[in-house]
Each structure stands twice: as structure tokens, then as C-alpha cells.
Amino acid sequence: MPLTDADAVSSLTRNGRSVNQRPPALHRCEVRQVADILREARGCRFCGLDQTVWIFLLAHGGGLALLLCTDTDLSLRVSGALSGKGSAIVSDVAVTVTCLSAIAAQCLLFFRLYRSDPGWVRIGCLPEGPAGQQCGYCSAVPPERSRHDFNTGQCVAKFDHFCPIIATAVGDCNHCMFWLYCVLQSFLILWGLALALDALLPCLLGDSVSKAVCWGPRAWQSWLHVLAVLLLVPCLNVFGGLAIAHAYLAATAQTTYEVVKGAKVPYLQEHYRAYAGPRGFPCSAKGVRSLLWHLMRGPLPPAPYSRGIAENLNVFFYAAKPHSYWQQNNGMSDKL
Ligand SMILES: [Zn+2]
């Protein structure tokens, strides 16, 4: 049952905010812009943009400026392409165009993702497939595998996680785009790391003349390259790890929420209870502990929604999603 106003005031969320401070949920299938839903959840804004966009722009703009304003292979090739001189002009132009295209594609992907609909469950609509229990927070009747997202105050179909990098939830409708974003970001980081190391290694392992040049009048450039390497290595771990982990989730038709929570997820409890692998699965062990337990002692239970790797990937990448989750339910919607 939906919470009453009195319940809403007295209850506390996990974040310590009262329920009535949450962003409002969608009502009666009304069409609202995703940007409107997220504006209140994203909070701090400066010059019309919130901090997530600023972090993205500053990180990418700063990284590109660092590589272009110091002596790197990229800056040499870009200056070669712009001047039209040099023996390797074709490859210089190719590298310059590739670099700009990759960054433009990443910006486009970021803003598409930033404004994307992860699969908001409209209140007053019923899912076409199996329905989950009515949400006690926003009163939506979501499809199975949905979860209420406390950051945006909405239920999200096939909820994966709330991603602070893009300041929105990742769900069925934008999971594929999120994976592409992680992959492209990993390649960009790897590229930047290779350029920084290419400029830095002669300064560390080169002959005495190279070291004297690097750590003499151009020492500031060398220190910037050291800083770039120190920042890019952990970033590569994060995005590379996300790309690999979500490729696994896509191939096995699972979500981060389901993997992390394990037998604790309400709609998976029956499946876990029924599973009796080679050594049985302990339903008492939950979350990460259950994962670790089984990684050490035996195989995990098969993902209940998996239909084989090929079909899972087909659903993840190509299948049309939003309209398969909800439809206008004339008459019924007024009673919810
Ligand atoms: Zn909800």
C-alpha cells in the first residue's frame, strides 16, 4: 500500500532524509521530461550545469589540454597536421581526426546517457509481463526485477545500480549505453596513459642527455605527465573493471543488484531455495558473502533469467525495451 502523508513525514530513508524530501514520483502515466525528474536529485548547480557535467567536462578538457600543451606524440602530430608540413602528414591527420572523433563520441554518449530514461515505471500503468509487488514508496506496480531508486524517487525497470558518474540510475533502457560508455572511456584512458608514458619513459630510462632535458627547463611537463599517469591508472581500473563486469552481466542476463544481493533479493529467493548444486547453496549467506562462499566452495546457481549467451546479448543490445514493460491500462489505472 502507498505510504500516507503521516507515514511519509515520520519515516526516514537510508540516506537520512525524510520521505517527503524525495523527488516526486511520476503520477498517472503523465509524461514528464527525464531532466525534470533528475533536476531535484542532482542538486548542486553552477552556470546551469550540475556538478556531474562539470566534472566530466573538466576531466576530459583538462586531460586533452595536458596532452596537447606538452610534448607528447599527440601534440606533435596535431601540430604537424595543422601546419601541413612533415613527412608523415597523412598519419598525423588520421591521428588528429581519430582523437577528436573519439572525444566527440564520448561527449555525445555521456550526454545521451545523462539525459536517458533508465526505465522509469509510470505510476498507474501495469507491466505487460510478470508484475512485482506494488512499491511502498511511489505506489507504482513495477515489472519483475524492478527496484525503487531512492536517489530519484522512482521505480526503475530491471534496476542495475545508481551511477554517480552519470548522476542517474542504470536500468533496462540505458544499460547497453552505459556499457558502451565504459568501454569507450576505457579506451580513451588507455590512449591517454600510453601517450603520457611514451613521453615520460625516456625521462626515466633514457640516457643522461634525455634526463637533463626532461628534468631541466621542461621539468614542469615531466611532472604533469607523472600526475597524468597517477590519475589515469586508477581511472583505468574503474572503467575497465566496469566494462568487463557489465559484459559478464549482459552475457548472463543478470544485474549488479541481483549479483550483489544474491539470495536477499525477494524475487530470487525461491530460485535460490530451489537450487541445490553439487554442494547446495546456503540461503542464509547473503550479498557479497554468499558470492565469496560459493566462489570458494562451488559454482553459483544459474541465473534464472538467462536464455543462453547469444539470446542474452541480443536482448541486452537490440531488443526494444520500454514498451515491453508498461502499457496504458485504461480504467485500472484510476484504482491504483
Ligand atoms: Zn517505487
Same-domain pairing of 168 and 270: no
Distance 48 CA to ligand 1 centre (A): 29
Contacts 24+ apart (CB under 8 A), 98-102: 99/74, 99/191, 102/184, 102/187, 102/188, 102/191
Contact 119, 129 (CB under 8 A): no
Contact 4, 141 (CB under 8 A): no
Q: What is the pLDDT of residue 51?
A: 82
Q: What is the pLDDT of residue 234?
A: 94
Same-domain pairing of 152 and 272: no
Same-domain pairing of 279 and 189: no
Q: What is the pLDDT of residue 87?
A: 58
Distance 133 CA to ligand 1 centre (A): 10
Contact 116, 177 (CB under 8 A): yes
Number of structural domains (the chain) is: 2
Last residue of a domain, one of 251, 266, 296: 251
Distance 150 CA to ligand 1 centre (A): 8
Distance 333 CA to ligand 1 centre (A): 16
Distance 153 CA to ligand 1 centre (A): 7
Same-domain pairing of 158 and 291: no
Distance 159 CA to ligand 1 centre (A): 11
Same-domain pairing of 273 and 183: no
Which range marks the domain in which residue 244 is found?
24-251
Kindly state whether residue 12 falls inside one of the protein's structural domains. Answer: no
Same-domain pairing of 74 and 168: yes
CA torsion sign, 181 to 182 to 187 to 188?
positive
Same-domain pairing of 113 and 234: yes
Distance 329 CA to ligand 1 centre (A): 18
Distance 138 CA to ligand 1 centre (A): 4
Helix, strand, or coil (residue 25): coil
Last residue of a domain, one of 209, 234, 251: 251
Nearest to 230 by CA among 193, 264, 187: 193
Distance 238 CA to ligand 1 centre (A): 29
Q: What is the pLDDT of residue 291?
A: 60
**Alpha-helical runs (H) found in the chain:** 5-10, 34-42, 51-69, 73-83, 89-114, 175-205, 208-214, 219-252, 256-261, 269-274, 287-297, 309-317, 332-335
Same-domain pairing of 212 and 299: no
Kindly state whether residue 333 falls inside one of the protein's structural domains. Answer: no
**pLDDT lower than 70: segments of the chain:** 1-37, 40-41, 43-44, 84-88, 90, 127-129, 274-302, 321-336
Same-domain pairing of 120 and 88: yes
